[in-house]
Amino acid sequence: MSLLAVGLNHRTAPNSLLELAAISGDDAPKVLADLIQADHVAEAVVLSTCNRTEIYAEVDTFHGGLADISDQLSRVCGVPLNDLAPHLYVHHEARAVGHLFTVVCGLDSMLVGETQILGQIRSAFRAAQAVGAVGGSLAALFQSALRVGKRAHSETSIDNAGASIVSVGLQIAASSLDVHRGGRLSADETRLSADAALALAHQPVSAPTLVDEPLAGSRVLIIGAGAVGGLTAAIARRAGAAELVIANRTPARAAAVAANHDARAVGLADLPHELGQADLVVSSTGATGLVVTYEMVEAALAARAGRPLVFLDLALPRDVDQAVRELPGVVLVDLESLRTALENAEATHDVEAVRSLVATEVSAFLHRRSAGRVAPTVVALRAQAAGIVQDELDRLRGRLPGLDPREWEMVTGTVRRVVDKLLHAPTVRVQQLASSPRGDSYAEALRELFDLPREVPAVVSAPDLEQP
């Protein structure tokens, strides 16, 4: 058996394909059932977020498992495998472990250091447990991953990277807004001013704060009431926003965030009206389709009397139709525009420390995994030897009834020491070699040479696994 991770994300696939690959919570049980009924998949966990869909599996063969998982992803997407394959990444054994640990720490997210992925991985793991798709192998992997994610966020400042991106995005958006104040610009002038503002993204990201209240007097509409939306509200308020409006699909959620930031809550049905009133719109929903359309913005501009409108789209897939850039007086800043700022954030907020942590934890996990794989073989060998020794001693006792207790103790002790010494070197060595390439082959050789049973001996118990 071996570990395999197959998926696609924002680095390998366009948004249109990511949307097709998304697996909802309602669909996940069926996908998991299909996977574990496949010929080569023994365990599986499905992780599907707004910018990635991944399947982690324990498989009996690499090629067979890869074929089963790839076929499943092809069916989910409704895309022929030949068209899907160029967008897939495949990680095996150590690389699969390293990839999951990197993901759970937020290093593989579009918004570096974001904490939401930790909860999403926990939910994916528990969903797989609920339908019986997880066994000891993936349970150990995901429980270790959740512990690593907690360490990364508690022991480093990686969380601040995401906050800094929001801050830089708001600074850039505010600069675009400031350029536009006082009059209506043509489409060409809008694009030029936006490019000038984006030059700020080349500046180092040092803290999740804004200076000089760049949003003073502005009306800010925030679409989305998740973690990023709440963070945006807090930073926008500190940046001097005169009015904050929180729009969300769930009114109660919008109201909860609004209450924390002295803001007004509205539903998504109110967006056409609110777009006509706002100066800056920040969107960060988890929707799979556009939330703000070209037609919606075009209609809102008619009611604005030439006042500029700046969008900061922090969602992936995008919330705002990119075509709005063609409308006079509209500026759109999105995550693609902020790519340099994202890279600066990686260089600033303990990213290297987290990568070092991941490397250490991957090595430790692989060592535990390898040792765990050979442990049943070692225990079975020693149990078999102990049984043979006891049988022979019982026969010897019947042939030598005259030995007194002290003499018998010397005989039994000598026989057991001889067997222990003969077994010491091979059992210690097989554990040392377990983490080497093809380490499993050494345990297999012991099983063949000593004709050991394939089932796990009763004396071997599952290790205590940390609960997430």
Residue 1: predicted pLDDT: 75
Residue 339: predicted pLDDT: 67
Give yes or no: residues 152 and 174 share one domain.
Answer: no
C-alpha span between 16 and 335 (Å, rounded): 16
Residue 93: predicted pLDDT: 87
- Residue with the bigger pLDDT between 161 and 410: it is 410
- Residue with the bigger pLDDT between 336 and 270: it is 270
459 belongs to a structural domain: no
Give yes or no: residues 152 and 22 share one domain.
Answer: yes
363 belongs to a structural domain: no
**Residue 220 pLDDT greater than 90, yes or no:** yes
- pLDDT of 48-72, one tens digit each? 987 789 999 999 999 999 999 999 9
Q: Which two tokens stand for residue 338?
A: 């902020």
**Residue 209 pLDDT greater than 50, yes or no:** no
Give yes or no: residues 128 and 7 share one domain.
Answer: yes
Mean pLDDT of 332-356: 72
Mean pLDDT of 239-256: 90
299 belongs to a structural domain: yes
Residue 225: predicted pLDDT: 87
- Residue with the bigger pLDDT between 452 and 132: it is 132
Q: Which two tokens stand for residue 288?
A: 């799979």
Give yes or no: residues 31 and 135 share one domain.
Answer: yes
pLDDT band at 85 (very low <50, low <70, confident <90, very high): very high
C-alpha span between 60 and 24 (Å, rounded): 27
- pLDDT of 310-332, one tens digit each? 999 988 778 999 999 999 889 89
Q: Which of 137, 109, 114, 134 is nearest to 124 (CA)?
A: 134
Q: Which two tokens stand for residue 106?
A: 């937020």
Strands 52-59 and 2-9 turn out to be: antiparallel
Residue 164: predicted pLDDT: 59
**Residue 124 pLDDT greater than 90, yes or no:** yes
**Residue 94 pLDDT greater than 80, yes or no:** yes
pLDDT band at 231 (very low <50, low <70, confident <90, very high): confident
Residue 286: predicted pLDDT: 74
Residue 178: predicted pLDDT: 63
Long-range contacts of 413-422 (CB under 8 A, 24+ apart): 415/389, 416/389, 419/385, 419/386, 419/388, 419/389
Identify whether the C-beta of residue 319 lies closer than 8 Å to the C-beta of residue 332: no
Whole-model pTM above 0.75?
no
Annotate the chain with three-state secondary structure. Answer: CEEEEEEEECCCCCHHHHHHHCCCCCCHHHHHHHHHCCCCEEEEEEEEECCEEEEEEEECCHHHHHHHHHHHHHHHHCCCHHHHHHHCEEEECHHHHHHHHHHHCCCCCCCCCCCHHHHHHHHHHHHHHHCCCCCHHHHHHHHHHHHHHHHHHHHCCCHHHHHHHHHHHHHHHHHHHHHHCCCCCCHHHHHHHHHHHHHHHHCCCCCCCCCCCCCECCEEEEECCCHHHHHHHHHHHHCCECEEEEEECCHHHHHHHHHHCCCEEEEHHHHHHHHHHCCEEEECCCCCCCCECHHHHHHHHHCCCCCCEEEEECCCCCCECHHHHHCCCEEEEECCCCHHHHHHHHHHCCHHHHHHHHHHHHHHHHHHHHHHHHHHHHHHHHHHHHHHHHHHHHHHHHHCCCCCHHHHHHHHHHHHHHHHHHHHHHHHHHHHHCCCCCCHHHHHHHHHHCCCCCCCCCCCCCCCCCCC
**Residue 192 pLDDT greater than 80, yes or no:** no
297 belongs to a structural domain: yes
Taking CA atoms, 461 is separated from 241, 293, 365, 428, 453, in Å, by 60, 58, 18, 20, 16
pLDDT band at 10 (very low <50, low <70, confident <90, very high): confident
Domain end: 282, 313, 348, which one? 348
- pLDDT of 431-464, one tens digit each? 777 666 666 677 777 778 788 775 544 433 333 3
Residue 162: predicted pLDDT: 60
70 belongs to a structural domain: yes
- pLDDT of 260-304, one tens digit each? 899 999 999 999 999 999 999 999 887 767 999 999 999 999 888
What CATH number does the domain containing 94 carry?
Answer: 3.30.460.30
362 belongs to a structural domain: no
The amino acid at 374: V
Residue 344: predicted pLDDT: 58
What CATH number does the domain containing 333 carry?
Answer: 3.40.50.720
- Cα torsion angle, 334, 153, 234, 340, sign: negative
Q: Lowest-pLDDT range, 100-104, 214-218, 286-290, 405-409?
A: 286-290
357 belongs to a structural domain: no
pLDDT band at 3 (very low <50, low <70, confident <90, very high): very high
Give yes or no: residues 178 and 146 share one domain.
Answer: no
Residue 212: predicted pLDDT: 61
How many domains is the chain partitioned into structurally? 3
* Main-chain phi, psi angles of 314, to 5 degrees: -100, 15
Give yes or no: residues 316 and 390 share one domain.
Answer: no
Domain end: 94, 123, 158, which one? 158
**Residue 246 pLDDT greater than 80, yes or no:** yes
Residue 133: predicted pLDDT: 95
461 belongs to a structural domain: no
Domain end: 315, 348, 381, which one? 348
pLDDT band at 202 (very low <50, low <70, confident <90, very high): very low
Give yes or no: residues 238 and 313 share one domain.
Answer: yes
**Residue 205 pLDDT greater than 70, yes or no:** no
Give yes or no: residues 315 and 404 share one domain.
Answer: no
- For residue 403, the enclosing domain spans 370-449
Angle between helices 339-348 and 159-180 (to 10 degrees): 140
Report the percentage of the chain scoring pLDDT > 70.
82
- Cα torsion angle, 360, 366, 372, 375, sign: negative
Give yes or no: residues 308 and 177 share one domain.
Answer: yes
C-alpha span between 54 and 113 (Å, rounded): 19
Give yes or no: residues 177 and 323 share one domain.
Answer: yes
**Residue 2 pLDDT greater than 70, yes or no:** yes
Give yes or no: residues 153 and 168 share one domain.
Answer: no
* Main-chain phi, psi angles of 246, to 5 degrees: -110, 120
Give yes or no: residues 17 and 123 share one domain.
Answer: yes
User: Any idea which residues carry the catalytic annotation?
Assistant: 50
Residue 345: predicted pLDDT: 53
